[in-house]
Amino acid sequence: MREAVTIVLIDEERVTLSKWARGRSTPARLVQRARIVLGAAEGRENQEIAAELGCTRRTVGTWRNRFATDRLAGIERDAPRSGRTPAVRAALEAEIIRKTTQETPPNATQRSTRSLAKALGCDDTLVHRVWRDNGLKPHLKKTFKVSNDPQFTEKLVDVVGLYLDPPEHALVLSCDEKSQIQALDRTQKSLPLFPGRLKTLTHDYKRNGTTTLFAAIELAEGRIIA
């Protein structure tokens, strides 16, 4: 049976490991690794540490050996993994962002990870990661409206200035309207509310045309005129 590597800590390492093991803002994986090393430094077996931390003996052995080789830096960073090299992402990331933000695909309203990956000859997982890391969500939209009035800025200053500094004895009203309000009515009367049951409405309704609401608020008194 192979014997576990003996771990001997210097004071600085013990202080750092204890801080990681108790830190509320420390990543969970680093908390676990710090506790593994602290347990190993107490002379405990891998199986015992694994049972206490709810992980496998292999995990304990991995981080025990990593600390013995590289000390604190060995458990603070993850080991490089096989797979796509960072160079591939570095070469394509700028182009993925450019196409996503500046180009519209033919016969579609926005890019998808698969269509963009096909256009660039890469894996759609890479596109997804670049979108995620750069906060790109081309499938979501947010509406806006900007006035095309060439005097918009001057009018805006006049209106806002009237609210902020109205003339003496002036009556300032803020008016708005909501049109095309559907006048709906239920086909039957509602059933009353009583303990244990909500007020109920029929699922169907009848239309009584539409109506328009005009309202103004008198700023001085906060009175609404409708």
Q: Are residues 15 and 65 both part of a single domain?
A: yes
pLDDT in tens, 120-161: 888 888 889 888 888 888 888 888 888 889 999 999 998 888
189 occurs within a structural domain: yes
pTM: 0.36
144 occurs within a structural domain: no
Q: Are residues 18 and 43 both part of a single domain?
A: yes
Q: What's the rounded mean pLDDT across residues 211-222?
A: 87
- On whether the CB atoms of residues 164 and 155 are closer than 8 A, the answer is no
pLDDT in tens, 56-79: 888 888 888 888 888 887 787 765
Domain span holding position 68: 11-76
- Other Cβ atoms closer than 10 A to 63: 21
Question: So what's the pLDDT on residue 78?
Answer: 65
25 occurs within a structural domain: yes
Cα–Cα distance list, 52 to 18, 23, 36, 163, 177 (Å) = 17, 18, 10, 67, 67
Looking at every residue in the chain, the average pLDDT score rounds to: 84
Q: Is the pLDDT of residue 192 over 90?
A: no
199 occurs within a structural domain: yes
Alpha helices in the chain (DSSP H): 11-22, 28-41, 46-53, 57-76, 86-102, 113-120, 124-133, 152-164
35 occurs within a structural domain: yes
61 occurs within a structural domain: yes
Question: So what's the pLDDT on residue 24?
Answer: 77
- On whether the CB atoms of residues 226 and 215 are closer than 8 A, the answer is yes
User: What single letter denotes the amino acid at residue 135?
Assistant: G
Q: Are residues 160 and 211 both part of a single domain?
A: yes
Q: Is the pLDDT of residue 1 over 70?
A: no
Q: Are residues 39 and 91 both part of a single domain?
A: no
Last residue of a domain, one of 98, 133, 168: 133
pLDDT band at 213 (very low <50, low <70, confident <90, very high): very high
112 occurs within a structural domain: yes
More confident residue, 179 or 76: 179
How far, in Å, CA of 116 to CA of 119, rounded?
5
Q: Are residues 98 and 33 both part of a single domain?
A: no
Buried b / exposed e over 75-114, threshold 16 CB at 10 Å, is bbeeeeeeeeeeeeeeebbeebeebbeeeeeeeeeebebe
Backbone angle region of 87, left / alpha / beta, with phi > 0 → left and psi within -120 to 50 → alpha? alpha
Question: So what's the pLDDT on residue 215?
Answer: 93
Q: What's the rounded mean pLDDT across residues 172-190?
A: 87
Q: Is the pLDDT of residue 84 over 60?
A: no
Question: So what's the pLDDT on residue 177?
Answer: 92
Query: How many domains does the structure of the chain reveal?
Result: 3
| CA atoms within a 13 Å half-sphere pointing along the CA-CB vector of 131 | 19
Question: So what's the pLDDT on residue 37?
Answer: 87
How far, in Å, CA of 127 to CA of 109, rounded?
18
Q: Are residues 160 and 129 both part of a single domain?
A: no
pLDDT band at 105 (very low <50, low <70, confident <90, very high): confident
Q: Which two tokens stand for residue 221?
A: 């008194």
For helices 86-102 and 124-133, what crossing angle results, to 10°? 70
146 occurs within a structural domain: no
Q: Is the pLDDT of residue 171 over 60?
A: yes
- Other Cβ atoms closer than 10 A to 115: 16
